[in-house]
């Protein structure tokens, strides 16, 4: 007897660049799951009605990408605690006919670190987060959830301050100009800005202040080896690249929709590395 086809999708606009279908498609194929992951391109006026009828259409859930993330945040029936705190919904699933909104960026950061460097947080006390957008909020939430103190440095100080005010006790804001000075006591540094992405200015930061055992994480994945990661590797630091985050943030969604927890295999990573190397940069 064959199991019923389960469906999920990515909802966005002008999303030919999206790599999520390749990731979920790989897992569907290799795990032998009877399912599909569709690409649904919706202009903003068409998004709410499609989104609100997602469960009725037979979907188990989906991902939301630009420019619909804010609308999705507002339209879900209920938000998970993390999505609420981070202020962004990137993954939804159906509970009956209700849509629940979650955020998998923060768990992607933790899953990648736990997988690559098991026990990385055992002695880690301090994290430095560069940036104050959605990715930085996810990183701050992730590190707070493991009990680290987080310092957020952002070009626009007010955004870092707003993040610190909202997250409270363990999170503080710093001026962008003092980012080098924050590194002396830092156990994990994450670049959650767009700096270093192809077509963007480089990230200027002095890694010589960093403790030798600190981890350097870059959310940028085009290019795969950013100048930040190359400099960190030259200095002997443990590093995590943006492709790891991209792959691991997809795990919880797949597990929700299709009922199987997928693995980030070397084969999947190689497939995506090749894709990044050959494809035009994502906008």
Q: Is 140 in the site for ligand ATR (CB under 6 A)?
A: no
Contact status, residue 239 vs residue 214, Cβ threshold 8 Å: no
Residue 53 vs 156, nearer CB to ligand ATR: 156
Could you tell me if 148 and 140 are in contact, meaning their C-beta atoms sit under 8 angstroms apart? no
b/e 176-195 (16+ beta carbons within 10 angstroms → b): eeebeebbeebbbbbbbbeb
* Minimum CB distance to ligand ATR, residue 98 (Å): 26
81 by Cβ neighbours in 10 Å (0-12 / 13-18 / 19+) ranks as exposed
- Does position 161 bind ligand ATR by CB under 6 A? no
Strands of the sheet with 215-218, listed across from one edge = 171-175, 149-154, 126-130, 188-191, 215-218, 238-240
Q: Which of 14, 22, 66, 69 is catalytic?
A: 69
Query: Least separation, in Å, of the C-beta of 184 and ligand ATR?
Result: 21
Q: Is 69 a catalytic residue?
A: yes
- Asked if 15 is part of the footprint of ligand ATR (rule: CB under 6 A), the reply reads no
Minimum CB–partner distance for residue 265 and ligand ATR (Å): 27
Q: Considering CB under 6 A, how many residues would be counted as binding ligand ATR?
A: 15
Tokens of 137: 């909020």
Q: Note whether 44 binds ligand ATR by CB under 6 A.
A: no
Nearer to ligand ATR, 192 or 222 (CB): 192
How many Å apart are CA 54 and CA 61, to the nearest integer? 7
92 touching ligand ATR, by CB under 6 A: no
Please give the torsion angle defined by the CA atoms of residues 208, 142, 138 and 150, in that order, rounded to the nearest 10 degrees.
Answer: -50
Task: For residue 246, give every residue at least 6 positions away whose Cβ sits within 8 Å of its Cβ, in sequence order, or none.
Answer: 19, 23, 108, 221, 272
Using CB under 6 A as the binding rule, the residues of this chain from 197 to 236 that contact ligand ATR are 201
Identify which of residues 134 and 185 has a Cβ nearer to ligand ATR in the complex. 134
Nearer to ligand ATR, 135 or 272 (CB): 135
Q: Could you tell me which stretch among 16-24, 36-44, 150-158, 248-256 binds ligand ATR (CB under 6 A)?
A: 150-158
Shortest gap between Cβ of 237 and ligand ATR (angstroms)?
22
Per rule CB under 6 A, is residue 281 in the interface with ligand ATR? no
Task: Mention every residue, 6+ apart, whose C-beta is less than 8 A from residue 84.
Answer: none
> Could you tell me which residues are beta bridge partners of residue 240?
217
Q: Report the residue from 126, 193, 239, 249 that binds ligand ATR according to the rule CB under 6 A.
A: 193
Residue 73: CA atoms inside 13 Å, Cβ hemisphere, count? 18
Q: Do residues 92 and 102 touch, judged by C-beta distance below 8 A?
A: yes
The residue range among 54-62, 116-124, 154-162, 230-238 that interacts with ligand ATR, by the rule CB under 6 A, is: 154-162
User: Which tokens sit at 18?
Assistant: 């999206």
Is residue 155 close enough to count as binding ligand ATR by CB under 6 A?
yes
- Minimum gap (Å) between residue 1 Cβ and ligand ATR: 44
Side-chain half-sphere exposure of 55, counting CA atoms within 13 A: 13
Of 87, 134, 185, 223, the one binding ligand ATR by CB under 6 A = 134
Sites of contact with ligand ATR (CB under 6 A): 131-136, 154-156, 159, 192-195, 201
Catalytic residues: 69
């Amino acid at each position: 007897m064959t199991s019923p086809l389960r469906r999920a999708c990515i909802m966005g606009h002008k999303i030919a660049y999206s790599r999520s279908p390749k990731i979920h498609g790989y897992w569907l194929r290799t795990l032998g799951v009877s399912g599909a992951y569709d690409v649904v391109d919706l202009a903003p006026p068409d998004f709410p009605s499609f989104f609100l009828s997602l469960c009725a259409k037979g979907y188990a859930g989906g991902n939301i990408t630009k420019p619909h993330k804010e609308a999705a945040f507002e339209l879900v029936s209920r938000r998970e605690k993390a999505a609420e705190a981070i202020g962004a919904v990137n993954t939804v699933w159906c509970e009956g006919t209700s849509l629940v909104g979650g955020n998998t960026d923060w768990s992607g950061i933790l899953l990648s670190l736990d997988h690559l460097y098991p026990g990385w947080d055992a002695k880690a006390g301090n994290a430095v987060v560069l940036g104050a957008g959605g990715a930085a909020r996810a990183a701050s939430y992730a590190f707070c959830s493991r009990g680290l103190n987080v310092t957020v440095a952002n070009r626009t100080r007010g955004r870092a301050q707003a993040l610190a005010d909202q997250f409270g006790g363990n999170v503080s804001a710093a001026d962008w100009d003092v980012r080098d000075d924050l590194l002396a006591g830092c156990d994990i540094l994450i670049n959650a800005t767009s700096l270093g992405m192809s077509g963007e200015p480089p990230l200027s930061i002095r890694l010589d202040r960093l403790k030798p055992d600190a981890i350097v994480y870059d959310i940028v994945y085009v290019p795969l080896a950013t100048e930040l990661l190359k400099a960190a590797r030259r200095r002997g630091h443990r590093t995590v690249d943006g492709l790891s985050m991209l792959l691991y943030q997809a795990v919880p969604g797949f597990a929700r929709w299709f009922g199987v927890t997928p693995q980030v295999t070397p084969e999947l990573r190689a497939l995506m590395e090749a894709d990044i190397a050959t494809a035009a940069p994502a906008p």
